[in-house]
Structure 1
């Protein structure tokens, strides 16, 4: 009896299969999950850099252009994820091959564990400084508590992520916006006047590149969540709208923090406005939503590589990210930004693989290669170009190179197959 019960236990995260109809969720739930994913405190740093180098209208133009590019990229991934019900790692198996998928899984796991750790430190360091005098013991106590809570919620999967998102998203959006409006009202002149003192060192294209680069690595994991949408249309719309709104809000928070208090986080604005406990609440919830999704994606990636269950991989990822959080915060952010450029080539290949081989994705019986070398070479070449070529937008350059490599490989393989059939 107990054996049968164990065998029929449902994996609510469907780590190794497509999400069935009974596991799908409505538009509002998907919108909340995706919006919470984009509430990323590090994006406020980008808002600060944009405010320092652009006037107000340049800031808006960069926001719109970068948001449109990021929206198209994540929207396509959201569509593929929702249409197939497959996670990023299961999609990678079809595009890169069984062992080839280890490359993309390792990349997403590595970057997401890194950003998880940075997020934990982004909460613990300022809060311990303001609340507990900045002692090392207090900081590490907060690191362990915050990392433990975030790991626990990610451990319990998509249902836990949903609960956290429903609580955090409205609170962060409302309270953060209220603080932003209060700061603007207390400043000298209008927001347009304050932006006018920027150095003018950033172009609109450069600003758009910052917008895209700020969350394009996390956006590559979109299928991990969009696969739970009830259909492709709602999954795509929820993804595009959430990414545009969520990222724009974070950039504005960072810009306002820089202009009115010289910082880069809405936390600092709230502290200056004497909204201390509200500041802690907003900072904690803001980081929690993104960190949960990051750890969830890392767990899926490691589960694919090591062929283990997702939950223990999430736990391991959380422990690593928590213990290394302070070191990651002070030493690894620049490296993580470099790694951000390596993931867009993965995403574009996942999208191209689906649209080029649509019939195979609609079939339950699919032949999985060991390694698709053209996909692997495309990612490597795209990552090199994205990091070394200074012209244009790095992630777009990387995607273009990866797409050419992959499509050329697909055409070559098809021609070989046709030649073999005709021989």
Structure 2
């Protein structure tokens, strides 16, 4: 297989692994995303400063721990989530996770494509007739680096991440000056209300689909330590920063999007640069994720062709109005995606004791009823739970898989003894 195909159906060879700076650049670029700020904006209107910090800390600690655990497994096996899904869901059963994960990534891609078109039309005061052409242009334009592969993603992120950190620092500095100091910001009272469980679910859900598929890059890590540190940096610190950025802007300027705030602060050029770097570094990663899921779903190694197909599909959804469905979409992600990662982790540690056999050397069933049943149980409990849905889904699916696995093992042993 050509290296540019990035091994969509096989483990990453040890001689192709990457170091900490490479991994952190890509993963931070992935989590620096506008939609996370919008989620933060919702929280910023509903909680006081210290409540907000606690919710961001808890939600992103859960998210970071979840993503880092999967990242470690991906590094040890060289496999991404959709390939690991073959072990616990079966060769054909894993197509369930392919569809769920692939669909969510297309949802993100559609949202990002619509977002940049809408913001540009607004900033440049263009007529609304520009919206569809701009969505088509960016829908295909943002997939170029993903089409090329890991190397292009790495180069873009190494340039964009430091630039975005500088822009965010400028944004915070001007915001504190405008509000009259840090103490004035801390003293701002919430204007709306929201259940804490729903808030933590929202924080977790902002990027749980991305955290579940961050294995597409953590499998390139040189060591488990590199995989864990880089994933935690992105999903605990990076995603947490984006949530806080949205809450900060809403509290002071009644605007969650950093681009709108930078314009209001008088930094038009910085706002445009932030818009492009922020969305592009997530869009290319998102469509790369879709391609990974699509390659496993259709059993093809033509990753670049699947990338183009995903970009076309995401563009169509953007034109159809995916932009207006963000918050319900995020909560849905926080419910139905975490059980997939939880079952993969349980399979790795409980069934295989941290030592999975090579994918090419093991005979797997078409459908793993144990894994599929545990997923249904975990998702059902998460959906029905009034408590923190992602956490409920993770815990119940892991417990269900462990119990069903042991029952299945006992049944097999009894059959063999007859």
Task: Answer yes or no: same fold by TM over 0.5.
Answer: yes
What is the CA-CA distance between 1:329 and the residue it aligns to?
A: 3.2
Q: Which residue of 2 aligns with 1:57?
A: 50
1:372 to 357, 362, 368: 368
User: SS at the partner of 2:364?
Assistant: coil
Aligned match of 1:143: 135
Q: Structure 2: how far apart are the matches of 1:191 and 1:344?
A: 38
Tell me how far apart the structure 1 counterparts of residues 312 and 365 of structure 2 sit (CA, whole Å). Answer: 33
Instruction: Tell me the matched-pair count.
Output: 414
| C-alpha displacement of 1:144 | 2.3
Give yes or no for contact 2:39–2:327 (8 Å, CA) kept in 1.
Answer: no
Deviation at 1:75, TM superposition (A): 1.0
RMSD: 1.9
Q: Verify the 8 A CA contact 1:180 1:266 in the aligned structure 2.
A: no
The 10-residue stretch of structure 1 (117-126 or 191-200) with the greater mean CA deviation from structure 2 = 191-200
Query: Structure 2 matches for 1:273-312, cutoff 5 A?
Result: 273-308=265-300, 309-312=302-305
Q: Which residue of 2 aligns with 1:382?
A: 378
Q: Partners of 1:350 and 1:70 in 2: how far apart? A: 16
When the two structures are superposed, what TM-score results if normalisation uses the length of structure 1?
0.93
Equivalent position of 2:395 in the other structure: 400
Residue 339 of structure 1, CA deviation:
3.3
Kept in 1, the 8 Å contact 2:67–2:211? The answer is: yes
Q: 1:263 to 1:287 in 2, by over 3 A?
A: same
1:95-125 Cα distance to aligned partner (Å, 9 max, x none): 1100000000000110101110101111110
Tell me, yes or no, if the aligned pair for 1:48 and 1:258 is still in contact at 8 Å: yes
Match of residue 345 from structure 2:
351
Decide whether aligned partners of structure 1 residues 396 and 91 sit closer, same or farther in structure 2, where only a CA change above 3 A counts: same
1:200 Cα deviation after fit = 6.6
Query: In the alignment, which residue of structure 1 is the partner of 2:244?
Result: 252
Do the aligned residues in 1 keep the contact of 2:201 with 2:331 (CA within 8 Å)?
no
Q: What's 1:177 paired with? A: 169
The change in CA–CA distance for 1:411 and 1:201 in structure 2 (over 3 A counts) is same
Q: Distance in 1 between matches of 2:399 and 2:316?
A: 40
Q: Which runs of 5+ in 2 are unaligned?
A: none
Of stretches 373-382 and 38-47 in structure 1, the one that deviates more from structure 2 is 373-382
In structure 2, the partner of 1:165 is 157
SS for the counterpart of 1:182 is helix
243-252 or 183-192: bigger deviation: 183-192
Provide the residue aligned with 2:90 in structure 1.
Answer: 97
- Quote the offset at 1:315 in angstroms: 0.6
- Please give the per-residue CA displacement for 1:136-168, whole angstroms capped at 9, x wherever unaligned: 232223222222221111111111111111111
Alignment-derived partner of residue 121 in structure 1 = 114
Task: Specify whether residues 332 and 193 from structure 1 end up closer, same or farther in structure 2 by C-alpha distance, changes over 3 A only.
Answer: closer
- Structure 1's unaligned 5+ residue stretches are 1-7
Deviation at 1:409, TM superposition (A): 1.6
Structure 2 Cα separation of the partners of residues 420 and 381 of structure 1? 26
Flag the 1:192–1:247 CA change in 2: closer, same or farther, 3 A.
farther
Does structure 1 residue 47 correspond to structure 2 residue 12?
no
1:262–1:200 CA distance, 2 compared to 1 (3 A): closer
Secondary structure of residue in 1 paired with 2:91: coil
CA deviation vs aligned residue, 1:14-64 (integer Å, no higher than 9, x gap): 111110112100111001111111112111112111111111111111121
CA distance in 2, matches of 1:402, 1:165: 35
- Map 1:194-233 onto structure 2 (within 5 A): 196-199=188-191, 201-202=193-194, 204-233=196-225
Retained in 2: the 8 A contact 1:55–1:192?
A: no
